[in-house]
Each structure stands twice: as structure tokens, then as C-alpha cells.
Chain A
Amino acid sequence: MRKSTLAFAVLIGLGAGFLWTGLDAVRGDSERAAALEAGARLTRELGLTDLCLFTEARYTRHLSQADWHAPFQDHPMALEHFPSGALVGVPATLRGPH
């Protein structure tokens, strides 16, 4: 077999996988959709404001509710030191004029 034929076969295989990812994303997953709906229902019922991604500090647990000095008020000269504080951007609510 010619080497180019083999290379095309590999590329076609990878291309098919690439297309599958697109189809998979468009098709959606009914189980996942039900889970999302359950989460959204609980958010409405309890009036939740934030995702439970970082529970290590109060200002990372409720990012959207953090105040302007939250990361720096644990003690005098405190610096923001939680690892997730380095991962997330400044909340949109704090970007505007105070």
C-alpha cells in the first residue's frame, strides 16, 4: 500500500472523529438536559445566585455576591491567597465604578 493512502486513511479517521464531536455537541444528551433542568429548578426555588465551584472561601463560593474588599479583610495586610482566587476573574459587579 502507498504511504499516502495510509496517511489519508489516518486523516480521514481523525476527521471523522472531529466531525463526531460536532454532532455529539449538537445532538445533546437527554440525561444531561434533565440534570440541567433539575439544577435550574432548584436555583429558581431557592433563589440561588452562584455555582458551587469553589467552596474554599466565601468570596469564591459566592463570586457574584463578593464585596470590594472581601479577599483582603481576613486580617490586616491580608493578601488574597486562596488558589481559586488566581483562577477566576474579577466579578462583573466589581468592574464598574463603586
Chain B
Amino acid sequence: MFWGRQRYLIDFALSSLWRRKGRHLLLLVVYTLVVAALASVMLFTEALKGEARQLLAGTPEVVIQRMVAGRHDLVPEQYLERIGRVRGVRKKAGRLWGYYYDPTVAANYTLMVPPERHIAEGSVVVGEGIARARGASVGDVLALRSSVGEVFPFRIDAILSAESELVSADLMLVSEVDFRRFFHFPAGHYTDLVLEVANPREVRKVAEKIALALPDSRPILREEILRTYASLFDWREGLVLTALLGAVFAFGIFAWDRAAGLSAEERREIGVLKAVGWETSDVIALKLWEGALVSLCAFLLGYLLAYLHVFTFSAGALTPLLKGWAVLYPQFTLAPQVDLFQLATLFLITVVPYTAAILIPLWQAAVADPDAVMR
């Protein structure tokens, strides 16, 4: 009985929506786009966070930088020996890496000396992003100009796998000799140091001891690196979300205007329904069904579009925003991740305000005298 009655109400609600189809279709399209835009950012962010968690799980336990006058400075190799005296340090090594701006393609590369892999002098292993930007392949020669204007021809030995592009798109691996000659990097110095601590629970303690022993050093822990990426696109910051919040507010005003200001036609419709014997509760149920059908369709459709956009089409609409002025940008597909809490949040910030916007004016019209409403 109850269900039969509700079905009639739904039939009537759909006929009512169809009578003003232009307006409702426009509402559905705008609503769907707002949900799709918000959901795209949420899904993309969550997937990136998941990706970062897995990719950076093997990042160095502690990185030690040296600061001089508030800026990074090269670390003398004596620091390695002094760090070695700190109890708890199991392994220590100096890293050699730096940046190179390539004017040919106006891109920044990260030059690095791999700690274990052997690279012959004059050879280079490049990331897929560099190979793409330079149109280079294995065997080609990359001519780079050093800090003193000398041209270094590097032969491409290999290209790092496209699968690892999210961490390696701009990498250029060179031998230690080439690295030091190319940058005129002083002997006996490193860019920074990396440590391994015997007991993982003592990492913070060891970092504190090092900061005490070497006051100009700055330890960065793996947990801090992971935390940085966990809060990468924090909700508090974020150009995209701020821009989207504008869209949400605009939609809120649009929905409020549509729902709050019941048109004369809608008020007359409510009056006629009440005059022919409809209860106030029936009128409210009818209008709630209208709102629920529009909201639910827009939410599901918007979410589906966002999912396809992020995971099938590699978030093409968000990429230009993320790329900024960067020439080298990794091409990657993200592993789908769905967070139920986020879904619930999305539902709450899109569906609930719309439904709430409908209720108050509807209640006012529905409880009024039919004669007054129709006048």
C-alpha cells in the first residue's frame, strides 16, 4: 500500500519534472558537473597519496642536509665519519645529485650518481620524460653545457622504465667522475648524506643526536617525507579546490534560487493539488521525490564520470593545473582507490544542501491555504 502510493507520487513527480524539462535538465547538467569536478579532485588526490605511500616506502630512513646561512650547502665527507660515531647508525653514505636546466627544451633535470649501479664515463641513463622531451633514444648523444661553458656529450646507455616514471621522469644518472667534472663539484663533498638506523624505533633519537653533534645539519626522516606526501594536496591549501569551492558556492546559489523561489506555476500547482484533496504530507513527499531523483542521478552520474576521468583518461582535465610551468611531466595511470569516508563527505556536501534548500520554501507553500497560494 505504502509502496504503491509512493510509486504514484514518483510518477507524478517525473511528469512534473518533465513539464519544465529545460530548467531541470540544465540543473541536472550543472549539478552533475559540480559533483564530477569535486569527485575528480578527491579521487585523484587519494590515488596519488596511495601511490606515494607505496613508491616512497623504500626512501632513505634519514637524509642529512647541511645548512649555511639558511641555505643548503655541500656536506664535507668528514661529516660521514662524525656521524659514524653516533650509536645506532648502521649504514651511512654520501649522495651526489643536483639540478640542470636544459635551455634546449627549457626543462629542469635531476642529475644523480646512482649508489650501486655502475655507469661508464661519458654515458648516461635517462628517465622517460627526458627521452620524450628531447626526442632521444638509446645510443643518441645528449650534449649538455657545463657550469663553465664546456660541452659534455653524453651517450644514452639506457632509458629508465616508463613504469617508474612517477619517480624517474626527469632523472639523469651519470658516473661520479662526470658529475664532479660537469658541475665543478669540489672533491670530498656530497650534496647530502643518507643513513640507515639499526633499530627503526630509534630513528628520531639518532636524528636528535646528529643534530646535537652537527649543529649546522638538518635531518629529514622517512616518516616526514611520507607525511609530506600524505598532505600533498591538503584541503586547506590548493588552488584547484579553492576554484572548485567557488563553483560549489555558485551551484549553491543556483540551487537555492531554483528551490527557494518556487515559481508562480509551481505554487499554483501546489494550490491545485491541495484544492483537489492532497494532504500537506503528500505535497511535501512529491517535491522531495523530485529533489531526491535529481540529486541521486546527478551524484551517481557525476561520480561515475569522475572515476572514468581519473582512472581511465588519466585525469586529463587536472593535468594542466598540476603541470604548472614544468616541461617534463610524467605520464602515469593511477591505481583506483576509493575511500568510503570521502564518498560520504562528497554525498553530504552535494546532496544534503540541495535537499535542504528545497524543504523550507516547500513547507511554506504546502501549509498555506490553497486559495491564497493560487491567487
B72 contacts which chain A residues (CB < 8 A)? Answer: 67
Contact of A93 (CB < 8 Å), options: B163, B224, B236, B332? B224
Q: Is B168 an interface residue (CB 8 A)?
A: yes
Could you tell me if A47 and B325 are in contact, using CB atoms closer than 8 angstroms?
no
Interface string of B228-261 (1 = CB under 8 A from A): 1111111011111000000000000000000000
Q: Is A77 an interface residue (CB 8 A)?
A: no
Could you tell me if A54 and B324 are in contact, using CB atoms closer than 8 angstroms?
yes
Q: How far is the CB of A58 from chain B (nearest CB, A)?
A: 5
Interface string of A1-38 (1 = CB under 8 A from B): 01110110011001101100110110011001111101
A34 contacts which chain B residues (CB < 8 A)? Answer: 163
B51 contacts which chain A residues (CB < 8 A)? Answer: 36, 51
Could you tell me if A24 and B336 are in contact, using CB atoms closer than 8 angstroms?
yes
The 27 listed contacts between A and B (C-beta, < 8 Å) are A4-B7, A4-B11, A11-B300, A14-B304, A22-B338, A29-B335, A29-B336, A36-B54, A36-B55, A38-B161, A39-B164, A42-B164, A42-B168, A43-B57, A47-B95, A52-B166, A53-B329, A55-B107, A55-B169, A55-B170, A60-B324, A62-B110, A63-B232, A65-B63, A83-B321, A88-B233, A92-B228
Q: How far is the CB of B196 from chain A (nearest CB, A)?
A: 10
Contact of A86 (CB < 8 Å), options: B164, B224, B239, B332? B239
* Closest chain A residue to B230, Cβ basis: A92
Q: Is B374 an interface residue (CB 8 A)?
A: no
Q: With contacts A42-B160, A49-B225, A65-B220 known, is A56 near B166, CB below 8 A?
A: no
Q: With contacts A25-B337, A40-B58, A87-B233 known, is A63 near B228, CB below 8 A?
A: yes
Q: With contacts A15-B300, A21-B336, A58-B99 known, is A51 near B164, CB below 8 A?
A: no
Measured in the bound complex, the distance between the Cα atoms of B130 and A52 in whole Å is 12
A18 contacts which chain B residues (CB < 8 A)? Answer: 300, 303-304
Could you tell me if A83 and B325 are in contact, using CB atoms closer than 8 angstroms?
yes
Additional pairs, 13, CB under 8 Å, beyond known A42-B161, A49-B220, A90-B237: A4-B14, A18-B303, A32-B334, A36-B335, A39-B168, A52-B170, A52-B330, A53-B166, A53-B330, A64-B220, A69-B70, A92-B230, A93-B224
Could you tell me if A43 and B56 are in contact, using CB atoms closer than 8 angstroms?
yes
B10 contacts which chain A residues (CB < 8 A)? Answer: 3-4, 7
Measured in the bound complex, the distance between the Cα atoms of B293 and A52 in whole Å is 43
Q: Is B137 an interface residue (CB 8 A)?
A: no
* Closest chain B residue to A73, Cβ basis: B71
Could you tell me if A51 and B224 are in contact, using CB atoms closer than 8 angstroms?
no
Measured in the bound complex, the distance between the Cα atoms of B110 and A18 in whole Å is 41
Q: With contacts A22-B338, A52-B129 known, is A43 near B7, CB below 8 A?
A: no
Task: Name the interface size band of chain B.
Answer: 35 or more
Could you tell me if B7 and A49 are in contact, using CB atoms closer than 8 angstroms?
no
* Closest chain B residue to A53, Cβ basis: B322
A51 contacts which chain B residues (CB < 8 A)? Answer: 48, 51-52, 55-56, 166-167, 229
A11 contacts which chain B residues (CB < 8 A)? Answer: 293, 296-297, 300
Measured in the bound complex, the distance between the Cα atoms of B366 and A89 in whole Å is 48
A75 contacts which chain B residues (CB < 8 A)? Answer: none
Interface string of B46-74 (1 = CB under 8 A from A): 00100110111111100101010011100
Q: How far is the CB of B352 from chain A (nearest CB, A)?
A: 18
Could you tell me if B228 and A93 are in contact, using CB atoms closer than 8 angstroms?
yes
Nearest 6 A/B pairs, CB to CB: A44-B58, A83-B324, A89-B234, A92-B227, A14-B300, A35-B163
Could you tell me if B7 and A46 are in contact, using CB atoms closer than 8 angstroms?
no
Q: How far is the CB of A19 from chain B (nearest CB, A)?
A: 10
Could you tell me if A46 and B114 are in contact, using CB atoms closer than 8 angstroms?
yes
Q: Is A91 an interface residue (CB 8 A)?
A: yes
Could you tell me if B228 and A14 are in contact, using CB atoms closer than 8 angstroms?
no
Could you tell me if A49 and B300 are in contact, using CB atoms closer than 8 angstroms?
no
* Closest chain B residue to A84, Cβ basis: B324
Q: How far is the CB of A40 from chain B (nearest CB, A)?
A: 5
A32 contacts which chain B residues (CB < 8 A)? Answer: 333-335
Could you tell me if B168 and A49 are in contact, using CB atoms closer than 8 angstroms?
no
Could you tell me if B14 and A7 are in contact, using CB atoms closer than 8 angstroms?
yes
